[in-house]
Amino acid sequence: MAKSHGSLTGIEAKIEYHPVFEELGELYESWKRSAVNWMQTEKLSESEVEKRLMKRFNIQWAWADSIATEATQCLNQLKTAKDNNITKLELQIQAKTTAAKKLITKLEKTLKLATKKGFPHLQARNIFFHQLLGLKSKIQKIASLKRKLKQLKNTERLHICFGSQKLFNAQHNLAENGYKTQEEWGLDWRKKRSGRFLCVGKSQPGGGTMLKVFPLKEDGLYQLQVQLPRPLQDKYGQKIQLEF
């Protein structure tokens, strides 16, 4: 965002490639995974995670704040997803139980009539036994759903697959998912897990934010300044500047 005459002006632009973004994205996502893990396993608060990020990885407060905020949001989304999955499983169990009870009632009537008079023909007998097998399958499915529900309710640590579960599973069937080698899949996997970072900035140079966008003297041109985390400063300098 850039400030113009007292109002906010949205800027959407394609900036030039810089190799630091790949390394920054990889580090950022790695730090975020650590933050989510600490929140779950050690029950650290957002402020405690910020402090540990700064100390453990030697990063500035603004980066630590951004990562801790995203980690909190991620964990909240996981909790919401867990609640939604519990509700979904409960509804599935309820629906399948109702269907099974209806089928049991129908089979009991058919069997009672067949006990007295026999099945009217062979096809009716085959249909009955086919429905009986179907009932067994329904009961097994209900039992499986109940086990999943119990396991989910008893799970304290929530699991997330950074990079997507679909892409993770693709490594087991490379050809079917368009990959020739494990290395080719691994390249996509690393990109998916480290292809982004988030930072909030101001429209003026200076200040403690990590990203700044402000207009240059030339009409229509802007400059993006990104203050890099300390682990990258020896290689790329304290900040990078890109015009667009």
Q: pLDDT digit string (tens) for 46-59? A: 999 999 999 999 98
129, pLDDT greater than 80: yes
Residue 231 is predicted with a pLDDT of: 92
Predicted confidence band at 191 (pLDDT cuts at 50, 70, 90)? low
What is d(CA 195, CA 188) in angstroms, rounded to the nearest whole number? 10
**How large a percentage of the chain has pLDDT more than 90?**
17
Write the pLDDT tens digit of every residue in 135-167.
888 999 999 999 988 988 887 765 655 555 665
- Facing residues of 225 across strands? 212, 241
Q: Where are the domains of the chain?
A: 19-160, 164-196, 199-244
| CA-wise closest residue to 23 among 141, 191, 155 | 191
Give this prediction's pTM. Answer: 0.63
